[in-house]
């Protein structure tokens, strides 16, 4: 039987993480549905492949081109999930729904949950906190932060898909 103090700490930690994760869950569900509906509408084909073993991905192809990409990154103290739409004509990122959950305060283990919806061509970034739009100012730092990684992942995934 587990001693009471470690058990209580475990329960409090679980409750803290659950309550913080629900911070943007309502809006995340809407973005998840939109992503799934886009995949279905375009008859996109799932291709099972991981560019990086530590970065699980789901790749969806239309006409031999990567059109939809879902990626999960698990940094040490948080998580990052992205749903990326690629423009079929320009092959560039059309939209990136990026959910970042990170530790704000190490002592209290308080988490910050932010969803960024980035439209690179229009230079627009919507940031959501507590299921509400917090800002719609373009955030170049968030956009540039993973742009190169996504482009490398896209190129490699398309090469693997087309060499099958």
Average pLDDT of the residues of the chain: 85
pLDDT digits (tens, 9 = 90+) for 11-48: 444 444 444 445 899 999 999 999 999 999 999 999 99
pLDDT, position 1: 47
- Would you say how long the chain is, in residues? 164
Kind and range of the H or E run holding 15: helix 4-21
**How far is it, in rounded angstroms, from Cα 143 to Cα 119?**
9
- Per-residue pLDDT band for 146 (boundaries 50, 70, 90) equals confident
How far is residue 65's CA from residue 77's CA, in Å, rounded to a whole number? 34
Specify the higher pLDDT residue, 145 or 148.
Answer: 148
Distance between CA atoms of 86 and 96, rounded to whole angstroms? Answer: 9
Q: 144-148 — which CB contacts under 8 Å span 24+ positions?
A: 146/82, 146/98, 147/93
> pTM score, two decimals?
0.82
Find out whether 126 and 117 touch, Cβ atoms under 8 Å.
Answer: yes
| Residue environment code for 58-79, b if the CB has 16+ CB neighbours within 10 A, otherwise e | bbbbeeeebbbbbbebeeeeee
Give the percent of the chain with pLDDT over 70. Answer: 85
């Amino acid at each position: 039987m587990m001693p009471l103090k470690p058990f209580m700490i475990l329960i409090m930690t679980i409750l803290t993480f659950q309550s913080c994760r629900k911070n943007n869950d309502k809006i995340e569900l809407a973005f998840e549905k939109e992503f799934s509906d886009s995949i279905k509408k375009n008859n996109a084909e799932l291709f099972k492949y991981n560019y990086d073993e530590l970065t699980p991905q789901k790749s969806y192809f239309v006409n031999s081109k990567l059109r939809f990409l879902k990626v999960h990154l698990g940094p040490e103290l948080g998580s990052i999930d992205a749903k990326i739409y690629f423009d079929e004509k320009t092959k560039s990122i059309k939209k990136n729904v990026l959910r970042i959950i990170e530790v704000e305060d190490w002592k209290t283990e308080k988490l910050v949950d932010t969803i960024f919806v980035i439209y690179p061509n229009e230079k627009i970034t919507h940031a959501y906190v507590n299921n509400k739009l917090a800002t719609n100012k373009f955030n170049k730092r968030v956009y540039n932060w993973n742009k190169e990684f996504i482009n490398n992942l896209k190129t490699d995934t398309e090469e693997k898909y087309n060499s099958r």
